[in-house]
Structure 1
Amino acid sequence: MTNHEDYVMISDKQKGLEQVIHEMFPNVAHRNCVQHIYCNFKKAMKKLKDVDEPAHKWLIDHADARDKPIITMLELVRSKIMERIQKRYVAMSRKLGIVCIKIKKILEKVVADSVGYTIIWNGKHGFEVKAHAEQYTVDVAKNWCSCGSWQLSGIPCSHSIPCLLHLRKFAIVIVKECYRKDTFLNIYSNVINPLNGMSLWDKDNAFPLQPPPHVKLAGSDIV
């Protein structure tokens, strides 16, 4: 056998072959048997069900493309993703404000929770915040609070709100960039381009794949 790029090797559950094929036949493509991939996928789905049964049920219920031939399935998945990206981009572009809707609602709750808090300013970036029976320290220059919420989420916590207001800063402007509307639109601006139907696809000059010869087993009624 020659080391030619036209060859494809298919193996089933032979992990050691991957390195051997790469070393001995670097130009030959190595693929896994579909049955091997299916078994691994089935195990992963079982683990998912054990961890999160509602998520597993959602995946099972949304199986429009799962029973289709491979090309038809991929085309259906592509068209669904294409439509999903377009819908999300249009929906967000129509929203007002500089942050996403869910983040705006979180900020509204954070502001409401901060009512009644008192602060002591150190004259620079530090604040001592008395939140009813608790006390926290806030550094607005570092987007930091001793409660840890601001650092973990990237969204100003309730303890930081009176500090920001004292400095005439707005929490909605200080949230992490990943929560901003312009970031969302930038992500979903990478659209999937439309494709022609199969009748207009380029013809491949390679040797066409043929099904294996059918052999009638002795004593079998199946033709």
Structure 2
Amino acid sequence: MAALEDTNSTNFLGGQLIAAVGRDGNEQMFPLAWAVVKGENNESYEWFFKQLKMSIGEEDGHGMTIISDQHQSIVTMVAQEFPRAEHRHCARHIFANWHKTYKGEYMKMMFWSCVKAYNEADFTDALETLKEADPKAAEAFLACNPTLFCRAFISNHTQNDVIVSNMSETFNAYIINARSKHLIYMLEDIRTSIMKRLVEKKMDMEGSTHVVCPRVQERLEIEEDKASTCKVLPSKPTLFQVQDGIDGLTVDLEARTCTCKKWDLTGIPCSHAVSAIFSIHGHAEDYVSDHYYRYRL
């Protein structure tokens, strides 16, 4: 299932517009539910999450990933209504608070190096670099609980490496004109806009000639370009040792894993996996997770 994200925006008549925005197979916005409530409080979020739960037919959140800011009402309601869901915290919100104290482009780079590392070894290396630059900054980073927002620690069951709630900003930008209207007209404008969008996206996908969704194809082509620098040594028909610069990695095509963990987390073959696939004259598209295909196989 695509990652689920939460967003909010204020309506000029008062109250709060809150929404749950999913991510489709083309890695684009797929709004699931939206509603106007009194405010961002436990009562409003409890009502919204119960309605969302009934709408999507989820019982306990198993197989679901939710990304949100650290608003306590959201944290509480996710634990209450979707106890088995993976709840990631938005790294961008955490960075905004952390960066108020530890400023500068270098510190920014160090933060995101830690956050974007796909495996624990790379995370540890990035964290050590941060500690050398500023031990207190590293201590503050660890206090934010990296297991909730760093790629090295998030689950791969949804095969999505998203660690920011950028879909909420996409949804807010999409409805910006509607938000200036009277409540009833605003909601109707959002409904018809989303209805039209779903049809247009479906038509776009039907017009594509790729096996997988276009945006995923673009990501795959980037990995294919990187694969040219890798050296492949077969160990078994589906098991390979891949040398990428000074790094030696193991790729298992049958298990669809690579020790870099990027393929495991995204469902899209990394450059190491692509190099192994090419060595047996295979097609990288055949090894993409099936929820990225234009049509279910």
User: Above 0.5 in TM-score?
Assistant: yes
Distance 1:150 1:132 in 2: 19
Counterpart of 2:233, as a letter, is I
CA contact (8 A) 1:164 1:171 kept: yes
Alpha carbon RMSD of aligned pairs, Å? 3.5
- The question of 1:181 aligning with 2:294 is answered yes
Higher relative contact order (CA 8 A, sep 6+): 2
3-state DSSP of counterpart to 1:40 = coil
Counterpart of 2:187, as a letter, is L
For structure 2, which runs of at least 5 residues remain unmatched after alignment? 1-35, 46-67, 72-89, 97-164
CA contact (8 A) 1:99 1:181 kept: yes
TM-score between the two structures when normalised by the length of structure 1: 0.55
Question: Could you tell me which residue of structure 1 aligns to residue 39 of structure 2?
Answer: 39
Out of 49, 68, 71, which is 2:182 matched to? 68
CA contact (8 A) 2:252 2:258 kept: yes
Question: Could you tell me which residue of structure 2 aligns to residue 158 of structure 1?
Answer: 271
Distance 2:239 2:220 in 1: 21
CA contact (8 A) 1:65 1:76 kept: no
3-state DSSP of counterpart to 1:122 = strand
Distance 1:170 1:163 in 2: 10
Going from structure 1 to structure 2, the CA distance change for 1:56 and 1:132 (only over 3 Å counts) comes to closer
Out of 134, 137, 140, which is 2:253 matched to? 140
The structure with the largest alpha-carbon Rg is 1
Going from structure 1 to structure 2, the CA distance change for 1:103 and 1:57 (only over 3 Å counts) comes to closer
Going from structure 1 to structure 2, the CA distance change for 1:139 and 1:105 (only over 3 Å counts) comes to same
Instruction: Provide, for residues 194-221 of structure 1, a one-character-per-residue CA deviation record: whole Å limited to 9, x for no partner.
Output: xxxxxxxxxxxxxxxxxxxxxxxxxxxx
Distance 2:203 2:218 in 1: 21
TM-score between the two structures when normalised by the length of structure 2: 0.42
Distance 1:161 1:56 in 2: 33
Distance 2:39 2:285 in 1: 48
Question: Could you tell me which residue of structure 1 aligns to residue 282 of structure 2?
Answer: 169
More strand by share: 2
Question: Could you tell me which residue of structure 2 aligns to residue 96 of structure 1?
Answer: 209
Deviation at 1:156, TM superposition (A): 0.5
Out of 106, 113, 138, which is 2:219 matched to? 106
Counterpart of 2:236, as a letter, is G
- Percent of aligned positions that are identical: 22
Distance 1:107 1:81 in 2: 29
Counterpart of 2:178, as a letter, is D
Deviation at 1:128, TM superposition (A): 0.8
